[in-house]
Structure 1
Amino acid sequence: MSTNERENLLHLLNEQLRHFSTDTILFHQAVAEKLGLNSTDHKCLDIILRNQPITAGKLSDLTGLTTGTVTGVIDRLEKAGYVFREKDPEDRRKVIVRVHMEKAEGEIMAHLQSFGQSMKAMLEQYDNEQIKLLFDFFERSRDITRNETLKLKK
């Protein structure tokens, strides 16, 4: 492969990644709108789902959002009926956030089911070695994204 061909491929791949990133954001914005949420609240709900029970401080750490912003997120999610707060039994000064699973699963999954099925059908076309390569790519890409996010916040 010539240097020019490789540079062209890397450029095209970078362009596809940019499109993928934008399309992903727009997809999640559309899901958020269906749920009556903004995109930040929607993605915070996803983080809460994967890390519950969670404190507001931990959510702040995971998202990089200020504690004040996180309080607003939790307030809106609670008002929408997706989460509830309860006192930490080990430290009554702390508040734990949990998800109303029936509501979250019922409403969120209704909007993600088609997407999940389409992604599964696409991924089934790859063999195990290709899946491992994709996994490595995304894992390393996430590391870069997180590190670059931290740099921007300094």
Structure 2
Amino acid sequence: MTRPGDHPSAAWAGLAPGTVLNAVLETFEPPALSRRELPRVAAAYQRQGAHLDAMQARVIAELAGRVDPPGGPATAVTIAEALHLELDAATDLVSLAVDLVSGLPATLAALDDGRITLAKARLIAQRTRRLGPATRAAVEAVALARAPQLTEAQLRRWLDDAMAPGNGEGRATS
């Protein structure tokens, strides 16, 4: 089996999410990894998971666009059955997927690249949903610049502060 330290310059840690990173991750045996290597491997798995979440969002949004009416309750029912989710959870997942694909392409790209988690993408979508397209894009851009370094709670607070009425409704603060 391969260990992270076996790769020249630990280049595996910089691999973009996708097939190659997945193949490398499949070779690791956690008991064989050092304490220093384990968090790096965990972070790589998180990036890979975010990538898969983005791919799933694209598939769900495509499904939502194909039913009659588009995005209607039939999509949520279908997703609930396929993923063994409660209907409310499936409805939220469909809504998020459609929102990411149609209204937050930069957030979807950040998720796909593994720069943010699905939970952070959800926060950005929920907190910016009521904004107009131009304002939403501006808040999204600043949020995405900050999100990778913030916890979910910190991102939530930043988004809430950035869009507080006294802060210029929807004005992204730096």
Using structure 1 for the length normalisation, give the TM-score.
0.33
TM-score of the two chains, using structure 2 as the length reference: 0.30
